[in-house]
């Protein structure tokens, strides 16, 4: 004998089955950019569809491909959440996406707007070229190899030196900007990031700290204060992962070619100040 369920019970049963059949839409891991492909990109697209930043028809033309439409949707989402509109799906954007989808971020979120940029002194250097469209996702710290900021600044502004950095932090804490953030400064040379050969100059901001690099000359209080404020601003503005805030020693090839910023540089102090 069949038993007819009450209409309300039948409706609940159908709804529960549909809910069970539909997987939850979640935010993928951070680190996606235009040109990437695969299931993580599809996961990002599904999340953007759910939030109304992409349509199913748009995704159908390139499922799992991070193309122009997906980049535009990420930028729109970032703009709505008061994030830097880079189009790069980094840690900040991931945290905001998790929150928008109703989840709880598993990693601490950073402020939604970049911290104030500290005062800088303009000292343009001709030693730069184009990033060729590369996004900024790395910050590299250097020592100037001397304790004479005036001479160091002059050398990086000399066309014959063929070296430069975006910023130089002098012994008194003054910050000089030699190359605009949008340009590729010449500071890292032959390099790799986390063991992968890459054009570090093309994707990074280079910061020179006036210090001889011997490990015997202390970095000044004024330098740590200025460097913390500058690095914090750049990290937030360009959504740079903490693991990509490195010294020249970490990226130079071959290993051991450089020791920057210096053996006595207090990385713990800087990272605590940034976080």
* Of 35, 117, 108, 100, the residue nearest 70 (C-alpha): 35
Catalytic residue among 71, 91, 208, 236: 208
Task: Determine whether 236 is an active site residue.
Answer: no
In the 3-class helix/strand/coil scheme, how is 168-213 assigned residue by residue?
Answer: EECCCCCEEECCCCCEEECCCCCEEECCEECCHHHHEEEEEECCCC
Residue 64 CA to residue 4 CA, distance in Å, equals 44
Taking the alpha carbons at both ends of the chain, their separation in whole angstroms is 67
Residue 207 CA to residue 205 CA, distance in Å, equals 7
Looking at the annotation, which residues are catalytic?
Answer: 208
């Amino acid at each position: 004998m069949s038993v007819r369920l009450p209409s309300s019970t039948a409706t609940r049963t159908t709804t529960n089955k549909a809910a069970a059949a539909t997987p939850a839409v979640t935010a993928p891991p951070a680190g996606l950019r235009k040109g990437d492909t695969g299931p993580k990109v599809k996961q990002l697209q599904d999340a953007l569809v759910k939030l109304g930043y992409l349509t199913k028809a748009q995704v159908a033309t390139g499922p799992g491909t991070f193309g122009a439409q997906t980049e535009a949707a990420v930028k729109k989402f970032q703009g709505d959440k008061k994030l830097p509109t880079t189009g790069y799906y980094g840690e900040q954007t991931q945290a905001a996406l998790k929150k928008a989808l109703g989840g709880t971020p598993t990693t601490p979120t950073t402020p939604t707007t970049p911290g104030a940029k500290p005062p800088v002194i303009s000292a343009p250097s001709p030693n730069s070229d184009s990033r060729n469209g590369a996004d900024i996702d790395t910050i590299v710290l250097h020592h100037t190899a001397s304790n004479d900021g005036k001479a160091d600044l002059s050398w990086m502004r000399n066309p014959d030196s063929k070296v430069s950095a975006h910023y130089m932090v002098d012994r008194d804490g003054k910050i000089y900007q030699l190359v605009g953030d949008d340009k590729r400064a010449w500071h890292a040379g032959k390099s790799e990031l986390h063991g992968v050969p890459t054009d570090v100059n093309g994707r990074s901001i280079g910061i020179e700290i006036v210090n001889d690099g011997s490990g015997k000359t202390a970095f000044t209080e004024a330098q740590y204060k200025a460097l913390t404020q500058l690095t914090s601003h750049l990290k937030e503005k360009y959504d740079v992962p903490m693991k990509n805030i490195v010294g020249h020693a970490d990226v130079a090839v071959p290993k051991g070619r450089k020791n920057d910023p210096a053996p006595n540089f207090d990385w713990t102090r800087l990272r605590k100040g940034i976080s």
